[in-house]
Amino acid sequence: MSHPHLAWLIHEQAKKYGGRTALRYRAQDTGTWVPVTWNQFSHTVEVASRALLELGVSVQENIGIFSQNKPEYLYVDFAAYAVRAVSVPLYATSSCEQVEYILRDAGIRFLFVGEQYQYDVACRVAKSGSPLQRIIIFDRKVIRHSHDNTSLYFNEFLCLGTEPSVASELKRRMEAVNEEDLANILYTSGTTGESKGVMLHHSCYAEAFRIHDLRLPVPTEEDVVMNFLPLTHIFEKAWTYLCLCRGATICVNLHPADIQQAIRETRPTAMCAVPRFWEKVYAGVEEKIAHSNVVKRWVFRDALRVGRRCNLDFRRMGKEPPFLLRLRYDFYERTVYRLLKCTVGIENGRLFPTAGAAIPPAVEEFVHSVGIPMLAGYGLTESTATVSCDPYPYYTVGSVGKVMPGVEVRIGDDSEVLLRGKTITRGYYKKETLTRQVIDEDGWFHTGDAGYFKDGELFLTDRIKDLFKTSNGKYIAPQAIESRLVVDRYIDQIAIIADQRKYVTALIVPVYDLVRDFASKRGIVYHTMDELLRHPQVMKLYRDRIDKLQQQLAHYEQVKYFTLLPEPFSMERGELTNTLKIRRPVLYQNYASQIEAMYEE
């Protein structure tokens, strides 16, 4: 199946689907989900395209979108492609410094902002001598500063596109679009160093759509897809574009905190997610089991045992389960599994692609045991998302699936995963030296990820630069240990420490409500969270839970000491990236005293 260029996509789909619903979003004032038809989508994109031309946006000029997910985000994206401009997304949580860096680096004159926070940041940056000339505000409720005479609300921006004067120029540009045009510059938040602008051309997306058509039957025009991860993230952006190519209905979740309610209200059939989402589902089920009576606890555990045998021992390999096992599974499917999926809102689920970090094996086994169609995969911003994914509907727990058709993967020195193909970036924006460092003379992109092949499937071990070497010469893969321990319902976040150290330690952010509940039941008196977390009974609780989880680890990989932190890791302190990955150098600096205390003997 061939797909039109992104400049034409929405208009071609409108011809096909007309008055069918393309997008839905919840109106904040009424709480109802508002439909946007394909015809409305197409019309708004066309008006926004003309408005961009009225502003004076030139061919291949960079325009910025600094917003949480909104329908307007998509209107501007596709309008930019129609006028052959480059869409540069910024994470909605970005700081002043991050925004200023991107605006300067990409030379952005026109910035679209979502809500008050993004507008306020943009105004501060505008005063600092950045190239920014005009701010366009999506949310009408944003209060403009009294001295601001240049910004426009989105409806005012659209009014610029009602004049027919630029219609001929829009036609010329749309006829001139080609796959060699630059589509996006996506700035990676990076766990080390400054952001890098990954250049993705329209040819990258065209190839991504082609290879997904060969691999995945879902989504289709019958699917209802929850748009949950930020559109700034290539995983969500490329997935959403694929869904639009297939004619699916996209439910745009406007605020990350609303996601659980949004899922229950829309009952999606598909949604891409990061492992953290499923970790929370798993932790919620474990919590419910822990607080159930003996009979219910046995039923839950038996349901998971039956599901594991049926789905992991038989069905995932294309085998038919024995008759009695199938009967028991069908019973639990009508009762336990369905209740669980209905509670989350995913009982209609047909496909849940999951990537962005390592999936803890216990979580992956649980999800498949209860019949949730998770699809594990691996990709990077630099590869237009998917490099490999499970060959639907089959999977191997722990792998990131088979390499996508059309993508070349080989294992290089130090077990590094190397990539080559049409979906791979041509380099970093205005960073030729860095580009030459990561793309070698034969065109192989060096990912920095370590991995290996087994039975035709790709397995990842860790980031090469994240591999720790203890002072005893042993190599430690911190993410592998972290993914094993973070599944515990008492652990919210964890960072392993080991590089050039005698043994492994950990900084742990507890689930504070569970610790308070534990203290209440045992009559532990405390005045502050810090005091509670130092209490011997709490320390023993965590020691026992960690020891149970790390039994299968080699002795030198096991956590010897740990520190429970009274505050979570945060983006504000620079400890997490915008995609919630740990910035280890910042943690080492911010928690230097706590870390050193664990190595005093």
Q: Where are the alpha helices (DSSP H) in 550-597?
A: 584-590, 592-597
- pLDDT for the residue numbered 188: 86
- pLDDT for the residue numbered 193: 58
Say if residue 31's pLDDT is above 90. Answer: no
- pLDDT for the residue numbered 1: 66
Q: How confident is the model at residue 28 (pLDDT cuts 50, 70, 90)?
A: confident
Q: What pLDDT digit, counting tens, does each position of 520-539 carry?
A: 999 999 999 999 999 999 99
- pLDDT for the residue numbered 190: 58
Burial class (CB in 10 A: 0-12, 13-18, 19+), 179: middle
Say if residue 543's pLDDT is above 70. Answer: yes
Rounded to a whole number of angstroms, the CA Rg of the chain reads 25
Axis crossing angle, helix 361-369 with helix 275-290, rounded to the nearest 10:
70
User: Hey, CA dihedral for 343, 346, 348, 350, is it positive or negative?
Assistant: negative
Tell me the C-alpha distance between 407 and 170, whole Å.
Answer: 35
CA distances in angstroms from 440 to 199, 414, 415, 446, 472, listed in the order given? 17, 16, 16, 8, 34
Task: Taking residues 380-397, report their average pLDDT.
Answer: 93
Task: Taking residues 412-430, report their average pLDDT.
Answer: 96
Q: Where in the chain is the domain with CATH 3.40.50.12780?
A: 6-177+216-271
Long-range contacts of 395-398 (CB under 8 A, 24+ apart): 395/316, 395/368, 396/316, 396/455, 396/457, 397/312, 397/361, 397/364, 397/365, 397/368, 398/361, 398/364, 398/459
Q: Where in the chain is the domain with CATH 3.30.300.30?
A: 467-597
User: Comparing 77-81, 384-388, 498-502, which segment has the lowest mean pLDDT?
Assistant: 498-502
Say if residue 552's pLDDT is above 80. Answer: yes
- Please work out, in degrees rounded to the nearest 5, the angle formed at the alpha carbon of residue 476 by the alpha carbons of 475 and 481: 160
What's 131's DSSP letter?
S
Q: Which residue's entry shows tokens 């035709």? A: 456
Tell me the C-alpha distance between 226 and 358, whole Å.
Answer: 22
Axis crossing angle, helix 202-215 with helix 234-245, rounded to the nearest 10:
70
Task: Taking residues 572-588, report their average pLDDT.
Answer: 87
Task: Taking residues 461-481, report their average pLDDT.
Answer: 81
Which residue, 508, 532, 530, is CA-closest to 522?
532
Q: What pLDDT digit, counting tens, does each position of 140-167 carry?
A: 999 999 999 999 999 999 999 998 889 9
- pLDDT for the residue numbered 95: 87
Pick the CATH number of 467-597 from 3.30.300.30, 3.30.1380.10, 3.40.50.1980, 3.40.50.2000: 3.30.300.30
CA distances in angstroms from 282 to 290, 359, 558, listed in the order given? 12, 12, 23
Dig out the tokens for 224 from the structure: 């209802």
Superfamily of domain 6-177+216-271, CATH level 4: ANL, N-terminal domain (3.40.50.12780)
